[in-house]
Structure 1
Amino acid sequence: MMYQVLDKDIIENEIVPNLPKPKRGFFPKAPLAEIVNCILYKLKTGVQWAYLPVKSLFAENVLTYQSVFYHFRKWCVKNIWQDCWIKLLSKNKSKLDLSQCRFRRESYISITGRRRGRLSRGGL
């Protein structure tokens, strides 16, 4: 049984085209859609990398969790996830319904803005 976070067609049509193709060096043994599905499973469930059920997430060529983390880290460093998210949002902008969202105008006070050694101790 293979876990599916998103439909395979959605991953292949919407996410994989935004991923860079390897030019040299390490070529993945598994399809990029399965690697992305594995990463999305990890992000959705919050499971630790070492406990990722890779045998259930890959169809034929099972990668180790280290290989999946390698791809995740590589795409994070190059801001691939952020670029992909922005492209997906801009493509589907008309489908978003933000009518029920509330946005605050006031800014949050930064805790780091206080001076050192000036803690309130309740009058002590």
Structure 2
Amino acid sequence: MDVFLLIIKRLKTGCQWRELSLKEYFLKEKVSWQSIYYYFNKWSKDGSFKKVWIHLLIKK
């Protein structure tokens, strides 16, 4: 879930991927901005991100 929240934050703020505040979301794990971008790219290409986004919009 934290990966998704960071992707949303990046899209909302328009910041660079490398400027994401990973320490706020991952206190114990070592996560890089590249891994967040990897999941965004993967989910965008296979349509998963769009499906989740639409589901969240409908749910609200």
Task: Name the TM-score, length of structure 1 as normaliser.
Answer: 0.42
Match of 1:80 in 2: 48
Q: How does 1:12-51 map to 2 (within 5 A)?
A: 33-51=1-19
Matches within 5 A, 1:1-124: 33-88=1-56, 89=58, 92=59
Q: Unmatched 5+ residue regions in structure 2?
A: none
- The Cα RMSD (Å) is 1.6
Q: How many residues align?
A: 59
Deviations 1:82-105 (A, max 9, x none): 11233331xx3xx6xxxxxxxxxx
Runs of 4+ in 1 over 3 A off after TM superposition: none
Greater Rg, structure 1 or structure 2?
1
Higher helix content, 1 or 2:
2
How far apart, in 2, do the equivalents of 1:59 and 1:44 lie?
22
Q: For residues 49-80 of structure 1, what are the alpha-carbon distances to aligned partners after superposition, in whole Å with 9 as ceiling and x for unaligned?
A: 12112122213203100010001100000011
Task: Please give the secondary structure, in 1, of the residue aligned with 2:10.
Answer: helix
Structure 1: runs of 5 or more not aligned:
1-32, 96-124
Q: Which amino acid aligns with 1:75?
A: W
After TM superposition, the structure 1 stretch with the greater mean CA deviation from structure 2, 54-63 or 75-84, is: 54-63
